[in-house]
Structure 1
């Protein structure tokens, strides 16, 4: 990782001829045009955003693109998880085709993870692949969903079941736009930051115990460090395993439980993705304790780190409930790798020592969840 003259940071995602940079720093939105212009062959850019983000930032992006000689064509979708759907995806593709977009054009995702996912899938399908750029405007998207090329929309049967591995050509993570985020959105992103520490970086976990509240408060130095460490961690894993055939599955720590929670909640705004992941990580670690894999003190330490920031780690207190064990395990059966009553889980042997358990027994998981519902 190297700092630029303007104190920006750059992380390289090394994927051969599909490698790209993640640029991290303040005021990057104002510089977007000069970074994007070399990627296009026609003097235009297509932008997908949600209505809330577009009202706040589309003007600044259009000004930046215009300064580099690019016109901007904008489409907005309603904010929220319901826009991450097959129907909305079809509307985006119709818009691109009607506007004459081609494979040499670039589609820019201006928004959080929902917009980023929707944009990535649309770009992958558009004439078998057009370029796209991520400009993530939430903390969660900056440290997780904008990096690595996992793009998907939801189906009635579950979350992220329709999608593709399709890499962006550039990620611009402007940390200054995070100042407008509500506290819940900041906490949702913080949960994903904690995830990288729990996977394989105990020193980063120790750092978060000291500075995590500064990250949530968007203190400049702490925030920049946490985003850069998180992006570098994800880039390292993606470079080793782009299509989740092996080690990349570690990035799903907390997500099997978390996605089940979201499905049980009906993907409503009462439970954000990061909130579900925070609870899911705590559940995964407590399940690891139940399996005799790690000690209870480490699991409690991780839960305390999340709770002291303001996240909930117990099912009975999680917003949007109730979350019956049977409902959650039924949702887990929709996992893309679930087979015959068994499902892959990311468990841990300690803080920073996550591993892949390929065939956890869902009947045992159901019993564990019923026990959890008696706690908290």
Structure 2
């Protein structure tokens, strides 16, 4: 067994135009002061991390590592969640997601997709230059408007959607394989890959591509009423990244898991700061440790109630508390009397 690395912090929810959240060095200093040991860095804020430059320049990547090292930090993973979304966009969401791309490709779905694919490939090269072995992203979605079987479910529709999704991602996954980096999809409602069944369908379409892996985030599973613990039993070999995020679902007579078009605070299910929700993280950390998870435990802070700065501080402490330092020897080693074939025969009455 191996000790899980952490705590890490996903920067996406903290980057801002105000200090200390507007520069990588000041973000690093702030995060280190809270006890974080690594940063998961999104690729959609050029002033924080320039993924295009990172793909071209080892010097720039070394400079980024140097900035973090001043504060005892490293990069856990890069993230292309927004760019991954743009690999596959159903026309119903064209306008809504256009803002994830630069102005020159907005209103042109083909150009937007090509731009997104290029950024993700650049992130693969940048990850290799940074010495990383995992990358976080979204799958995008073509079938999501049809997630509920009304009008009645059409199997050919779903098959065609996943055929196309796999077709778009296969060259990207091959490129990640060339760089020696795992591509980890966060299973998330709104994405075609949002649970174990959809991940398996996608994986089968890709002939079980070795670089097709999972970013495990139990909050999205709790809100879908999934067994997020047994999920680890089923998919631990594909879990290569981990967002530590809490959630709660309080049954309501007026609204269910679909949310009633309400804001997050009014929904029956919503995200919470670590320790304020219902997720059993003690069991999660135990299972991931049992299965030799070798990656980082990264806080993704999302809460509709608590202040983000407080959530970050508490989150670092929470993760550190839940990491299990793996024992170097068995607890009952003191009573070991040896083990060999002759002894076994004697104990079994065979000699």
Question: Is the shorter-chain TM-score for this pair beyond 0.5, marking a shared fold?
Answer: no
Larger RCO (alpha carbons 8 Å, 6+ apart):
2
Give the number of the structure whose alpha-carbon radius of gyration is greater. Answer: 2
Relative to the length of structure 1, the TM-score reads 0.30
